[in-house]
Structure 1
């Protein structure tokens, strides 16, 4: 769109074109200005609020999310009043680069939202059902991890971090993100491809959850190390885990073996972060390190060596674990 302008004598000049002007350019510049001025991308109170909203999604006509500038936007709930919804809500985070560089595939009104409501279809999971004897399979995998040389090296490195200088760091909780569902079954395309292989090359279906088994075994190891430094009169070290992909069966198993399952919809676990926590995040979809930077300064972050949102990899208390997963 364009409009004519006038010179000082009131004569009409050529119209000024709006070429290059767009809601996305305006929004991305606004996001950059706010960020440079010190505005945080994430706040604990917002994460707690949206977690509570999604927990009540069946009775909520709309969801309310907060933009980076503090204004609110309301999103209609498509599952409002549905008795047996096949879609489950979860939080989708928009990290910094999506606010300023990569145009998001959302309406312009949501460009400056650092978190949105996304939906996951549950029909296949409900149809497939859980894996048989998954707790026994996990215990077997955990025993292999505990007996491995990699586990010994991991314990040695972690003990040095927590108490190597004889000044034991205070840890009150371990908060885990994205450890993986232990009841995940491989998709049909994987089965077709696997069946086409020779008998020697075929992998068992349980290989789809071996990574999740190891991640949870590592989390238990971290908890054991942290608890070994606690005095008899001290409070216990909590072990929390958040993964929106957890099935009900996985949650039951995790609670039996000592985990507290939090943040069912992908946000509440971040509100648990503080300066006395250890974060374990192998391959979470959320920009965990960016969120941490706004919320806390934990004792340690155990994470993949490289991630798509590795903005804060220069922090000295990051412990890369990508190479530790091979044993």
Structure 2
């Protein structure tokens, strides 16, 4: 509503217009101010809390989300009471640049939220079913990884990082984010596009999971090397992985080959971060390094692309306030 001003005699002047005073301008300035004050955009207790709420998505009527100014919002749960939901909840992150540079999706009440509840439709995945012989596919990818020149270069550099100066780096866990599902079939649009190519250019369906298979082979190598440097009496090195896109078949396979699958909905795994961790992130939709900057200083971060790589979505990648303080490989 327009306001009005008065002169020194109390006479009414022209009313003030709210032109340009949008919810977005006000909230983005508020986010920038809080950021400059050092307010954390992510807290472990919030990530654990929302993960626990989503685990009860069939019974709770609402989800409670904390905003960066300390206030909370309540989001209605559309799947409460549904016996066979086709929608599965997951955590959608809003990185720093989303809060200050690009208008977030949703109502103004969500503009100061760094995490929200979103939903993915499972009908196609349930109808198509998983790829067969996933264990065999993984073993084949693992052999290719071991035989590659990249494997030799990577292991050499990684060993140098862990103990090259004679002082072995303490590592208690390997945390993986966004390594990809290894058992999903390609969508219809991929098949149509692939079938339209000349026969000699067509790819097998398993090509859509080759990257994910290789990521997990690399993660096992990271864990094996870290364990080889563990000192006698140490409790061991855990290998944990989080990807809300994991199917049940993928989870079962990963647990069989030595992974702990955590953070089913894409948030709780970040609460495992500490200074004795090594982080391996492939193509996560979460702003992994921004979250790390608020929660811990891992021993190393291994990520796709350059050290400035950010979130793999349609927005401009952002750099966290403390990102440059985190060691990378």
The 5-angstrom pairing of residues 1-327 of structure 1 reads 1-304=1-304, 305=306, 306-308=309-311, 309-312=317-320, 314-315=324-325, 317-319=327-329
Say which is worse superposed, 308-317 or 275-284, in terms of deviation.
308-317
Q: Provide the secondary structure at the position in 2 that maps to 1:57.
A: coil
Indicate if the aligned counterparts of 1:289 and 1:310 stay in contact, CA closer than 8 A: no
Moved over 6 A (4+): none
Say which is worse superposed, 15-24 or 158-167, in terms of deviation.
15-24
Deviation string 1:103-162 (CA, Å, 9 cap, x unpaired) is 111111111011000000000010011111011011011011011111011000000100
Q: 1:316 to 1:271 in 2, by over 3 A?
A: closer
Q: Provide the secondary structure at the position in 2 that maps to 1:169.
A: coil
Report the alpha carbon displacement of residue 315 of structure 1 after superposing the two structures with TM.
4.5
Deviation string 1:192-245 (CA, Å, 9 cap, x unpaired) is 111111111110000000000000000000000000011332211000000000
Say which is worse superposed, 153-162 or 226-235, in terms of deviation.
226-235
TM-score (norm 2): 0.95
Provide the aligned C-alpha RMSD in A.
Answer: 1.1
- How many pairs were matched up? 319
> Could you tell me how far apart the structure 2 residues matched to 1:228 and 1:109 are?
49
Report the alpha carbon displacement of residue 316 of structure 1 after superposing the two structures with TM.
6.2
Q: Provide the secondary structure at the position in 1 that maps to 2:213.
A: helix
Unmatched 5+ stretches in structure 1 = 320-327
> Could you tell me how far apart the structure 2 residues matched to 1:285 and 1:11 are?
56
Report the alpha carbon displacement of residue 310 of structure 1 after superposing the two structures with TM.
4.8
Report the alpha carbon displacement of residue 307 of structure 1 after superposing the two structures with TM.
2.9
Q: Provide the secondary structure at the position in 1 that maps to 2:58.
A: helix
> Could you tell me how far apart the structure 2 residues matched to 1:310 and 1:12 are?
47
Q: Provide the secondary structure at the position in 1 that maps to 2:5.
A: coil
TM-score (norm 1): 0.95
> Could you tell me how far apart the structure 1 residues matched to 2:148 and 2:263 are?
31
Q: 1:62 to 1:47 in 2, by over 3 A?
A: same
Report the alpha carbon displacement of residue 314 of structure 1 after superposing the two structures with TM.
3.7
> Could you tell me how far apart the structure 1 residues matched to 2:17 and 2:282 are?
49
Indicate if the aligned counterparts of 1:174 and 1:223 stay in contact, CA closer than 8 A: yes
Indicate if the aligned counterparts of 2:99 and 2:111 stay in contact, CA closer than 8 A: yes
